[in-house]
Amino acid sequence: MIRELHEKLKSGTLTAVSLAESYLSRIDERDGEIGAFLSILGEDARKSARFVDEKIARGEEIGLLEGVPGAVKDNMCKVGTRTTAGSKILDGYVSPYDATVIERLSGAGAVILGKTNMDEFAMGSSTESSAYRQTKNPVDPERVPGGSSGGSAAAVADGMAVFALGSDTGGSIRQPASFCGIVGLKPTYGRVSRYGLIAMASSLDQIGPFTQTVEDAAIVFSEIYGYDPMDVTTAESDGKRFEDFLSGDICGLRIGVPKEYLSGGLDDRVRKTFDASVERFRSLGAEIREISLPHAKYALPVYYIIMPSEVSSNLARFDGVRYGMSVDDKTERFSESDTLLETYLDTRGYGFGDEVKRRVMLGTYALSAGYYDAYYKKAQDVRKLIRKDFADAFREVDLVFSPTAPEPAFRFGAKQDDPVGMYLSDIYTVTANLAGIPAISFPMGTVEEEGKRLPVGGQLMGKWFDEETMLRAADAFEKAGADERK
């Protein structure tokens, strides 16, 4: 899709301004119903589009992403705009600087249409924990779009943006991509700078794109990755353009299917779609091998110790003094004698939602003296074993393939009072974050539910810093599907 738009912009059959306008009117028409956006940056978008048109008019070369309209999750700072991270506590906060990914996108000439809805501080799997609005799944508006980057996924799935950025700490790009029937890429930890991303769990967070096609994901990813002095965990850029690796040829590629992933809570229909997808990879010439990830069963418990521990530390900065709202602006409950501690307590009590409080409490407990060794340290030790499982597996196979989520999109409210049920949504995705490896979700088929066809995603996980093999395989899969439908 991006390549076609690029050709049209270059040849003058389309202007960047008219392209931006058509997306802004789509948002105008549809977002009342879908609820994907928290803010719309119409004027900024028009300005960047005009800039691209002027460049074309001067006969200058334009890059693949120039003039292409996209959206970003509302936990990424864009100078002069509101950034809420889906939380009341950041109501009124205006970013004083650009996140590195925003800088990169602007540098690449992309047109940023707006900021998208999300679960509060990216905690959740349905976008229902947003303090601001509900986001509907465009495939079936009675269902959630997944989360936590539900707004970004819904915007792309509904044609309100060509691409959108999300963040993925335990599955927040891949699971909503699966629920909405689009592509979502979580790069290797350290590929994309987290500078200007509101931190959830810093050892797990990564930014990546949502798109309609694998090639588009490769194009957006190529623009945003690379070394950044503002994020010490970023790796040197190796100059790759990932869209150059999509040859369609996966003959001889070794794809491992972890036996531990295919038992327990996996929906039968998802399992069937998955089995058919394994056959598609086989028919494309890949060699399928059963593999074992012996510590996979500990991934979710380990994630739900490490993530809240980091959350409790990262979220300590929201105290009603430094960022966003302070409770006395809202309620005027304070008298002169109120102490600083009371301001903290009142602001955090009012500003944070239930899920955030639950995790801050869990994390504070896991890190407290006397429990640290039993929980946090133990979880870190098991995390090493999970990572080693992948290192061992990647001696035998090039990629690991699994479903992205155990079931298709669920209905609103279905898991809101059942936090553990909600956490189980991440059972196949958290491992990639714990191990730091790249992973992608792409449409693998649909399953029928109540007369509707709901999309389900397949997940490929790759070796550290080997996004290209993963993208090549997902692209070959997608092309083969398009051929089958012809």
- Give the one residue of 53, 168, 228, 475 binding ligand GLN; rule: CB under 6 A: 168
Per CB under 6 A, 145 contacts ligand GLN? no
Restricted to residues 14-53, the positions that interact with ligand GLN (CB under 6 A) are: none
Classify 453 in phi/psi space as left (phi over 0), alpha (psi -120 to 50) or beta. beta
Closest distance of CB 408 from ligand GLN, Å: 16
**How do 452-462 and 399-403 pair as beta strands?**
antiparallel
Contact criterion met (CB below 8 Å) for 4 and 19: no
Per CB under 6 A, 148 contacts ligand GLN? yes
Is 167 among the catalytic positions? no
Restricted to residues 191-220, the positions that interact with ligand GLN (CB under 6 A) are: 200
Is 330 among the catalytic positions? no
Residues paired with residue 454 on neighbouring β-strands, in sequence order: 447
Catalytic residue selected from 126, 130, 148, 312 = 148
Tokens 């301004």 belong to residue: 17
Closest distance of CB 303 from ligand GLN, Å: 7
Closest distance of CB 20 from ligand GLN, Å: 29
Q: By C-beta, is 326 or 402 nearer to ligand GLN?
A: 402
Per CB under 6 A, 169 contacts ligand GLN? yes
Length of the chain: 486
- Quick check: bond before 148 cis, omega within 30? yes
- Helical ranges in 192-339 per DSSP H: 214-224, 268-283, 299-314, 327-331
- Give the one residue of 67, 114, 124, 438 binding ligand GLN; rule: CB under 6 A: 124
Catalytic residue selected from 48, 172, 277, 309 = 172
Separation of alpha carbons 27 and 154, rounded Å:
11
C-alpha closest to that of 151 among 195, 97, 132, 99: 132
**How do 452-462 and 183-186 pair as beta strands?**
unpaired
Interface with ligand GLN by CB under 6 A: which range of 30-38, 81-89, 120-128, 441-449? 120-128
- Give the one residue of 125, 178, 222, 277 binding ligand GLN; rule: CB under 6 A: 125
Per CB under 6 A, 122 contacts ligand GLN? yes
Separation of alpha carbons 376 and 237, rounded Å:
32
Q: By C-beta, is 198 or 474 nearer to ligand GLN?
A: 198
- Total residues contacting ligand GLN (rule CB under 6 A)? 14
Identify the DSSP state of 418.
Answer: -
Instruction: Name the 3-class secondary structure at 166.
Output: strand
Is 172 among the catalytic positions? yes
Instruction: Name the 3-class secondary structure at 439.
Output: strand
Restricted to residues 344-363, the positions that interact with ligand GLN (CB under 6 A) are: none
Question: Which residues in this chain contact ligand GLN in the complex, by CB under 6 A?
Answer: 122-125, 148, 167-172, 200, 307, 426
- Residues forming the active site: 73, 148, 172
